[in-house]
């Protein structure tokens, strides 16, 4: 299965994509994770992306499309995948479609995790992560066992620089202007599913997603 998870920042698409990819044996491909890794290692890509990420703007399409092309060429996408954070603009969605058509591949479904603006702001202001293993935590609902320390390796938890309040507001604004139009793009292609992703815990949302994927497999 080739899936795209769509949703605003803080919709839980990263957490859910990781869980579901693990359960279904799919590759989880997060462009945000790839970019953060590139920034950490100061690669050419990282140096170019850093300034955009710090203020919550999107990295130019050409840089991101290059990343996805590389994954496609390497064969890493051949066993099925969940794309998380890509596509993020209409040109990215169109390029993905063309790139896949050329390679006899297709996207089975785009799944939107639906969350209100107020919930996004609430979640992102409580978000922490482990710089060693990348595990995510959320105050007050997903606390580590020892305050401020990762359950897996004891590392001191950190906040993503782009989770600070002013940047969060900009990321939400960027989402509405540049990313939300792709919801309609996939609706028109008739491959859109929408899942309510608030008012329930992460396990319940995982169940909803798994049920939807099961339903799609039968269609």
Binding site for ligand AMP (CB under 6 A): 9, 31-32, 35, 52-53, 56-59, 64, 85-86, 88, 92, 162, 171
Which residue's CB is nearer to ligand AMP, number 8 or number 213? 8
* Residue of closest CB approach to ligand AMP: 32
Cβ neighbours around 59 below 10 Å, total: 20
Tokens at residue 76, please? 């890493």
- Judge whether 127 counts as a catalytic residue: yes
13 catalytic per annotation: yes
d(CA 194, CA 196): 7
Torsion of CA 2, 173, 49, 65, to 10 degrees: 30
Dihedral angle over CA of 50, 51, 57, 61, nearest 10: -60
Comparing C-alpha atoms, which of 5, 150, 27 is closest to residue 81?
A: 27
Residue 48 vs 216, nearer CB to ligand AMP: 48
For residue 122, the minimal CB distance to ligand AMP (Å) is 16
Tell me the H-state helices in 82-153: 90-102, 117-125
Nearest distance from C-beta of residue 186 to ligand AMP, angstroms? 15
Residue whose CB is less far from ligand AMP, 15 or 192? 15
Q: Name the token pair of 156.
A: 């001191």
| Active-site residue, selected from the candidate residues 18, 36, 123, 127 | 127
| Half-sphere exposure in the Cβ direction for 37 (13 Å, CA) | 10
Nearer to ligand AMP, 2 or 216 (CB): 2
Q: Which of 13, 18, 36, 123 is catalytic?
A: 13
Of 105, 109, 160, 208, the active-site residue reads 160
Q: Would residue 171 show up in a list of annotated catalytic residues for this protein?
A: yes
CB of 50 to ligand AMP, least distance (A): 9
Instruction: Show which residues are catalytic.
Output: 13, 88, 127, 160, 171
């Amino acid at each position: 299965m080739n899936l795209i998870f769509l949703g605003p920042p803080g919709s839980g698409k990263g957490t859910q994509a990781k869980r579901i990819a693990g359960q279904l044996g799919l590759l989880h491909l997060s462009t945000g994770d790839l970019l953060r890794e590139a920034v950490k290692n100061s690669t050419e890509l990282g140096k170019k992306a850093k300034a955009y990420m710090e203020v919550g703007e999107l990295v130019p399409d050409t840089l991101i499309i290059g990343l996805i092309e590389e994954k496609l060429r390497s064969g890493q996408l051949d066993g099925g995948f969940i794309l998380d954070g890509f596509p993020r603009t209409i040109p990215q969605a169109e390029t993905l479609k063309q790139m896949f058509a050329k390679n006899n591949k297709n996207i089975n479904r785009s799944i939107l995790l639906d969350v209100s603006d107020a919930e996004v702001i609430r979640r992102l202001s409580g978000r922490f992560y482990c710089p060693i293993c990348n595990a995510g935590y959320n105050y007050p609902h997903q606390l580590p066992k020892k305050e401020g320390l990762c359950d897996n390796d004891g590392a001191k938890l950190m906040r993503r620089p782009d989770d600070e309040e002013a940047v969060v507001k900009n990321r939400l604004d960027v989402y509405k202007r540049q990313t939300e139009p792709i919801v309609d793009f996939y609706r028109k292609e008739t491959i859109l599913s929408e899942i309510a992703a608030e008012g329930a815990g992460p396990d319940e949302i995982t169940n909803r997603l798994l049920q939807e994927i099961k339903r799609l497999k039968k269609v």
